[in-house]
Structure 1
């Protein structure tokens, strides 16, 4: 089998990866729509009629109410962020499809060495396939599996970005001169679309872990079974602390270690600010204790400062590079 695959034209392999990846991607928003949009709901919000009751058993909002945690963002965050993720990445997927209409010799997307290596497509498919799996596993209240799927999707998105960053930097001079439009379209559409996606599912992975720490899987029962060794408040504190540390570490790496790789990916901190704002607004008065609302406020402030600093450094470095080219 390996020998047979090695004999296949690399362009044919790339075409297959683009088409198959597009199909897998499209499945994610379709299943998310069927899972999230109720046809009707009673006064108390406990009897939701779904668009596809033969596929899904619950609406996500109902499950959120059944398994309350101390750090759930406001409902409007979910209503805005997921459509934005799917729309942005749909545009990215359509952009990759356009590569099939251009001769391989003139399109770096169909060439394995430039812009998007094959590893990118494998990881891209895995990321959205895991999201589909997460929808079904969370709907069935299998939280350990749903956590693993979200964590895997997060790693897959990071892999997508890393392999594309490395491929671009390796051939950046050639790409700027021969494929400048494609280069910047990849940076704007694909990298920033994955930036929003990766930021949100990384945060969602912590939310799912919070549920795993507090509750046992409780399908088919009205009142969920709590594990008992940790409270929802304490678990939320741990998750928020992890997120604060992760934001600080990522900001330092993004701006001072790997800046030349990810300098055009600017969507991460705006997405983080949006998500943490929804978390702060919902939990400032609704939380049992005060440490989690305070940590949420710190996260909002940290995200805002990080976003301002990120854009400031971006424009400063850009102006600096322009001046250097003029001097040369």
Structure 2
């Protein structure tokens, strides 16, 4: 327990490098002329820089133009997609915090390993998620609707799995950390829990929008039915999660609240972009779902504050004063 783990350090570093690649490619996709210039002809000589990419470039068009082409009746306004920048910055801070843990020790041993909140299982699932995100970017850019939809659902699924793993491990070590590493406990809650919650919620919404595009272009399905599928799924997932997080999952996800801000932003973007031109049924659905998401956000914040005061976590756990013995126990 007190020794370094080379394998775990390697996983943390590899995960960070893959994250950096994912962010770089996603940002370049918004500016294809910049990305493509990297692979342009230099002095009339075809250059692929050893990457095997044709000199025409790696992206066909900007992500904004793609959204305009693949427009749905519930596509949010363009500003909504700036949430990707928030996700990247938040997760970057979480990654940097984890890298700092590699350089710290406590009374038990290296902080990243004792307690082991960022587990190999989490790092592997999360790395698969980042790689799937990169692959989705190229499938979506080439308008491969069905494969890109399937891959975005893989991104959303691995996000949910990673979110569950890191919540579970932090809860397991929570009693010890609440006594001996309270700052780290809150850093994990703020950076990893809430950062991944934003990423997971947004990737789920994007997966539903991507599914709508696939249904529109490949089936094709009536536009109103696609609206019902997307907004109905968001409604069902949100209400189900609100019930679970405030009952059986409360002790695990008590301080994870950012998911509702994402839904509010998405619904506000849909309202601004589509409400005036929507059918009566779609308009009602958008307004009601926006109102429900705001209610869930406010109610969740209120419940977290009240429960944090009246029913704080870990108060009934018997943790000894010696960190080695209490951790081993």
TM score, norm. by length of structure 1 = 0.85
Secondary structure, aligned partner of 1:109: coil
State whether structure 2 residue 296 is matched by structure 1 residue 298: no
Partner of 1:85: 87
Structure 1 CA distance, aligned partners of 2:181 and 2:267?
A: 37
Aligned mates of 2:191, 2:312 — CA distance in 1: 23
Which residue of 1 is the match for residue 324 of structure 2? none
1:157 to 153, 156, 159: 159
The Cα offsets for residues 258-308 of structure 1, whole Å up to 9 and x where unpaired, read as 011000111111111111111111110133x22122211111101100001
Q: Within 2, Cα distance between the matches of 1:286 and 1:16?
A: 52
SS at match of 2:58: coil
The separation in 2 between residues aligned to 1:34 and 1:324, in whole angstroms, is 45
- Match for residue 237 of structure 2? 246
- Unaligned residue ranges in structure 2 (runs of 5+): 39-55, 317-329
Preserved CA contact (<8 Å) 2:178 2:314: no
Residue 257 in 1 paired to residue 248 in 2?
yes
1-side partners of 2:75 and 2:37: how far apart?
25
What residue number does 1:201 align with? 203
Residue in 2 that maps onto 1:24: 18
> For residues 114 and 27 of structure 1, what CA distance do their matches in structure 2 show?
26
Contact 2:105 2:111 (C-alpha < 8 Å) held by counterparts: no
Aligned-partner Cα distance in 2 for 1:197–1:268: 9
- Give, in angstroms, the shift of residue 232 of structure 1: 2.2
The answer as to whether partners of 1:85 and 1:193 remain within 8 angstroms in 2 is yes
> Would you say 1:55 and 2:58 are equivalent positions?
yes
Kindly report the root-mean-square deviation, in angstroms, between the aligned alpha carbons of the 2 structures: 2.4
Q: CA deviation at 1:212?
A: 0.8
SS at match of 2:276: helix
Write the distance in 1 (CA, Å) between the matches of 2:113 and 2:275.
50
Pairwise CA distance, 1:325 = 6.0
Return 5+ residue gaps in structure 1 as ranges.
1-8, 41-48, 217-226
Q: How many residues are aligned here? A: 297
**Given that residues 269 and 303 in structure 1 are in contact (C-alpha distance below 8 angstroms), is that contact kept between their aligned partners in structure 2?**
yes
Matched, 1:64 2:67: yes
Match of 1:215, SS?
Answer: helix
- 1:99 counterpart = 2:132: no
Structure 1 SS opposite 2:255:
coil
